[in-house]
Amino acid sequence: MQGANDNRIIPSMFAALLADPREVRNSPHLLLDALKKLNRLIEFNFDTTVDKLDDDAMLDEIISAVATAPFRLQHLSLWYQHIMTHRNLPDRKTPHVTPHLKSLTGLLLEHCDCSNCYPNPFYIALVSTPNLILRDVYLNIPRGTIPGIGDGSLEMSELLGRTHWPQLQRITLFYKDNLRTESQIEGLRAFLMHHTTLQVVCLPGGLLPNLPDDAITLPSLQSLMFGRRGMKETYRIPQRIAGNIRHFIVRIEGEGMLDALKDMKELRSCQISNVSNIAKLHDFSPFLERLLYTPSEESYDRAWNQPLKKIDPEIKKEFYG
């Protein structure tokens, strides 16, 4: 995705940036006028961080214009951040883009978690609308509960297990906080078990929850990314799932990495770090073709934080299409 931070996992469908935030700041009203006239628009990508109250207001107007526009989007990427003082303006609410939800096949959504942005009705619709046609999703999981679902005491991380996106192929879930409670972990576990069409799962900064080793759990999964800094414990992926993995990016330091690889006989590409007995890799994964190896924690930090720059183009294609 041009114009965005390359240190996040971004579906390839968002490669074309239609709205340069620098141009928007210089001529925001032109963008607003254009959104009212582009009746056939099917993809919209917007990435910006504002630093003035006037820009805050204009950002809200732009998102509102997208929500009320005459077109119906298939791909939507919203990546925005209000200034901190926006938290002190409770009389304003950032509008939501729920009208496009039923037509979207690709969604990237990351924003600040100020009270004006989250929660909003979009998240309620995302959880409760049946049979959405989403296929490629990147979600930043905000903090805080979502009123309007159940007794209003659940967070988005806990509500994931209630979603049903029957065509979903790729998912990236970026948690601002590590999964802290069993109910949050259970939400992710239920989500993964419900979405049997998943081919790619990316959990940067998170862990793959324990999953049953049966034929209905992630039967199509081929590409997997997970892990967090300081993770050294032994981690085993269920044998039936591991046996299908072809592309693997993980943040496990030291020899625990090898335990995660033991059942990946079909592995073709891999990113690992700081494994002293790396010769065993051939025993576990005899068909490995591409390897990104970083010998130290510092170098792995650089590779992990900039995966799109570091990953081999062929590996990138498998993860991001």
Q: Which two tokens stand for residue 273?
A: 């770090």
Q: What is the pLDDT of residue 193?
A: 92
Q: Is the pLDDT of residue 308 over 90?
A: no
Q: What is the pLDDT of residue 84?
A: 58
Q: Mean pLDDT lowest for which of 49-53, 93-97, 174-178, 266-270?
A: 49-53
Q: What is the mean pLDDT of residues 223-233?
A: 70
Residues 6+ apart with CB under 8 A from 1: 10, 14, 15, 17, 45, 47, 77, 108
Q: What is the pLDDT of residue 76?
A: 93
More confident residue, 191 or 309: 191
Q: Which two tokens stand for residue 104?
A: 């979207």
**Which single residue is written with the structure tokens 């096949």?**
105
Q: What is the pLDDT of residue 197?
A: 95
Tens-digit pLDDT profile for residues 40-85: 999 999 887 776 666 777 778 888 889 888 899 999 998 887 765 4
Give the type of residue at 48. T
Q: Which two tokens stand for residue 120?
A: 């909003």
Do residues 47 and 25 make contact, with C-beta atoms less than 8 angstroms apart?
no
Q: What is the pLDDT of residue 3?
A: 37
Number of alpha helices (DSSP H) and beta strands (DSSP E) in the chain: 12, 10
Q: What is the pLDDT of residue 13?
A: 38
Do residues 177 and 154 make contact, with C-beta atoms less than 8 angstroms apart?
no
More confident residue, 127 or 307: 127
**Which single residue is written with the structure tokens 């919203």?**
78
Strands 269-273 and 290-294: parallel
Mean pLDDT of the residues in the chain: 77
Q: How confident is the model at residue 270 (pLDDT cuts 50, 70, 90)?
A: confident
**Which single residue is written with the structure tokens 């390839």?**
12
258 SS3 class = helix
Q: What is the pLDDT of residue 229?
A: 55
Tens-digit pLDDT profile for residues 124-174: 899 989 899 999 999 988 888 888 888 888 888 889 999 989 999 999 998
Would the pTM of this model clear 0.75, i.e. be above it?
yes
Give the type of residue at 226. F
Identify the DSSP state of 60: H
